[in-house]
Amino acid sequence: MSSSLFLTLKDKGDLHLASSLCDGLEDNDIKQVTILLKNKKANPNVFMPLNGITPFHLVIGNDSEVFAEDATKLFLQYGGDPNVKSADAMTPVHIAAAWGRAKILELLLSNGGDPHALDSDNCSPFHYAFQEEHYEIRL
């Protein structure tokens, strides 16, 4: 077996914290998310192989746009990368465009998000905004 198949203790810890972040996001618990980021040094960019995404991808599509925006601000404050890729090479910018989250998209772009990034289907965030008829999205 290849040594790359084995997770280090740090990797396991990072995955556990990322999973806990996802729990906080699913519960709309901004206090839990804040504690994990600030005190536990959780990384919102950790790729979770079973899901094919990071917590940063998950937060964008949260049912509550207000919560999603607040959590996105926290993620950016604590090292969130607006260009982190999912298993299919989508970024949080792609997700925000697809969901029509204009305020979040503006935050991501103003923090270095790439509006020209291509996913594994060679689609940019603009393609998803147009496909989902979010014509108000400006990239």
When pLDDT is averaged across residues 92-107 and rounded to a whole number, the result is: 97
pTM of the shown model: 0.91
As a three-state string, the secondary structure of the chain is CCHHHCCCHHHHHHHHHHHHHHHHHHCCCHHHHHHHHHCCCCCCCCCECCCCECHHHHHHCCCCHHHHHHHHHHHHHCCCCCCCCCCCCCCHHHHHHHHCCHHHHHHHHHCCCCCCCCCCCCCCHHHHHHHCCCCCCCC
Quick check: 77 pLDDT over 60? yes
Q: How confident is the model at residue 3 (pLDDT cuts 50, 70, 90)?
A: very low
